[in-house]
Amino acid sequence: MALKVGVIGTGMIGQDHIRRLTQVLSGVEVAGVTDIDLARAKSAAPAGATVYETPEALITAPEVQAVVICSWGPAHEAQLLACIAAGKPVFCEKPMVTSEAAALKVIEAEVAFGRRLVQVGFMRRFDADYRRLKRVIDGGTLGAPLMYYSKHRNASVPEGLYTSEMPLNDTLVHDADISRWLLSDEVSAVEVRVPRRSTRGRDLRDPVMVMLHMASEAIVDVEISVNIGYGYDIRGEVSCENGIAALPNRPAAVVTDANGIRQAIPEDWRERFIEAYDQEFREWIVAAGAGTATGPSAWDGYAATLVADAALRAVDSGAREPVTMIDKPALYN
Ligand code: NAD
Ligand code: ISE
C-alpha cells in the first residue's frame, strides 16, 4: 500500500518534491499539502490531496502517515517537533533548523521518542558522483584525505529573500555536511574570509571563502558564490596522501560551432541534483514506510547548524571559531 505523505511548504522545492512524489516515484501518494500562502498550496495540490489550513492540522491528520517539510528554515523547528510528538517519520529540507538551541531540542525530542524519525535533506549524499568519490576515499588506496576543495556556485539567488547571512547559514550547510560525510570526520573550527565583492551580488556579501578545520587536522576549503551568473557549478576534489579524487564533469553533449567547443552547465540545483533528490526520496519512502528514518539524521543537521553558527561568528571576529559538539547520543551511532 502507498505511503500517504503530507507536504508542508509548496514553494520552489516543495513543488519539485510534489512532482517527484506524484510523477516519478512509486509506493507513495501525496495525501495533503499546506502553506502559509493557502492559494499557493491549493494550486500545488495534486488531484485528490487535501489542503490543510495549518501545518499542525496536516501533521496530526490520521490519513497523513509521514511528512515532508519544505517551508523556510526558521519554521522547521516547530514543525519537526510536532512530527516527533505525533510519532510520524519526517523528511525535512535543509537547514534542519537555524540555531544550536533548536537543533538540541529536536535531538532531545527524538532521543526521548526512542527511534529515528528525522531525515534531513542533504541530497548530495545520494548523488552517484559523490557516492563514487566516497567509495574511493573509504577504499583507502589513496591514503588519508588531507585537503578537500568544495566549490559551491549558484547562478543567482532570489533578490530580497536571500540575505548576506545565507551563504553561511543556508548554502554552506551542504558543504559542511558533505565534508563530514566524505572525510568521515567532524568540523572542529571555522574561518571565513570575505574577498572583493561581486557586483552581480548587489549588496550581498558574496562570494565568501570558508575554511573548515577538521578534527583529523584535514582542511576543507570552500568557495561559496551565489551570483556567478553562468550556471550552477558544483565541484569537489579530495587531495590525499597518495593521489587525488575528484567529482567528474557532468555528462552533457559536446557542442561545436562558431563559438567554440563547449558543454552545457546545469541552471540550478533542481537540474544538477535531480537524480540525487529522487534517490533520497526512494530511500526515505522505504524507511518511513517502516516507521523510521535512515540517511542524514538530526545529528547531521545539528553538526551543520554548528558550522553555520561558527561561520557567522567568524565573519564578525575574523578569527578561527571553534565548533564544540555534545556527546553523540547512541541513537545516532
Ligand atoms: P520558497 O520560498 O520557494 O518556498 C517556501 C514555502 O514555504 C513558501 O511557499 C512559504 O509560503 C512556505 N512557508 C514558509 N513558512 C511556512 C510555515 N510556517 N508554514 C507553512 N508554510 C510556510 O523556498 P524554497 O526554495 O522552496 O526552500 C524551502 C526550503 O527548502 C528551505 O529550507 C531551503 O533551504 C530548502 N531548499 C533545499 C534545497 C536543496 O538543494 N536541498 C534547494 C532549495 C531549497
Ligand atoms: C538552496 O536552498 C539549496 O539548498 C541549494 O542546493 C544551494 O545550492 C543554494 O545555495 C541554496 O540557496
Q: Looking at ligand 2, which residue's alpha carbon is closest to its atom 11?
A: 171
Contact 52, 34 (CB under 8 A): yes
Contact 292, 116 (CB under 8 A): yes
- Reading phi first (left if > 0) and then psi (alpha if -120 to 50, else beta), residue 171 is in alpha
Instruction: Quickly tell me which residue has 517539510 as its cell.
Output: 69
Give domain status of residue 13, yes or no.
Answer: yes
What is the 8-class DSSP label of residue 325? P
Give domain status of residue 326, yes or no.
Answer: no
Which of 34, 35, 83 maximizes ligand 1 atoms within 8 Å of its Cβ, making it the mutation to test the pocket?
35
| Same domain for 247 and 131 | yes
What is the 8-class DSSP label of residue 317? H
Q: Report the CATH number at residue 80.
A: 3.40.50.720
Tell whether the torsion through CA atoms of 194, 198, 202 and 206 is positive or negative: negative
What is the position in ligand 2's atom list of the atom closest to the CA of 232? 8
Q: 214, 243, 268: which is the final residue of a domain?
A: 268
Domain of 251 in residue numbering reads as: 124-268
Pairing of strands 118-120, 90-92: parallel
| Same domain for 129 and 263 | yes
| Same domain for 107 and 135 | no
Contact 7, 17 (CB under 8 A): yes
| Ligand (nearest to CA of 222) | 2
Q: Is 174 in the pocket of ligand 2 (CB under 6 A)?
A: yes
Counted residue by residue, the chain has a size of: 333
Q: Is 280 helix (H, G, I), strand (E, B) or coil?
A: helix
Give domain status of residue 327, yes or no.
Answer: no
| Same domain for 129 and 110 | no
| Same domain for 191 and 64 | no
CA of 75 to the centre of ligand 1 (A): 9
| Same domain for 12 and 101 | yes
Cα 105 to Cα 299: distance, rounded to the nearest angstrom: 11
> How many domains does the structure of the chain reveal?
2
| Same domain for 237 and 106 | no
Give domain status of residue 330, yes or no.
Answer: no
Q: Is 270 in the pocket of ligand 1 (CB under 6 A)?
A: no
Q: Report the CATH number at residue 249.
A: 3.30.360.10
Alpha carbons within 13 angstroms on the beta-carbon side of residue 243 total 9
Q: Is 153 in the pocket of ligand 2 (CB under 6 A)?
A: no
Give domain status of residue 107, yes or no.
Answer: yes
| Same domain for 245 and 136 | yes
| Same domain for 137 and 264 | yes
Contact 220, 276 (CB under 8 A): no
pLDDT < 70: residue spans in the chain: none
Write the secondary structure of 97-113 as one string of H (helix), E (strand) and C (coil).
CCCHHHHHHHHHHHHHH
Q: What is the pLDDT of residues 169-202, one digit of tens each?
A: 999 999 999 999 999 999 999 999 999 999 998 8
| Ligand (nearest to CA of 225) | 2
Give pLDDT, residue 201: 86
Give pLDDT, residue 160: 87
Alpha carbons within 13 angstroms on the beta-carbon side of residue 199 total 0
| Same domain for 260 and 131 | yes
Chain CA centroid to CA 324, Å: 21
Phi then psi for residue 189, to 5 deg, are -160, 160
Give pLDDT, residue 251: 87
Amino acid identity at 317: S
Give domain status of residue 315, yes or no.
Answer: no
Give domain status of residue 329, yes or no.
Answer: no
Give domain status of residue 316, yes or no.
Answer: no
Cα 162 to Cα 12: distance, rounded to the nearest angstrom: 14
Q: 216, 244, 268: which is the final residue of a domain?
A: 268
| Same domain for 256 and 135 | yes
ipTM, two decimals: 0.99
| Same domain for 255 and 139 | yes
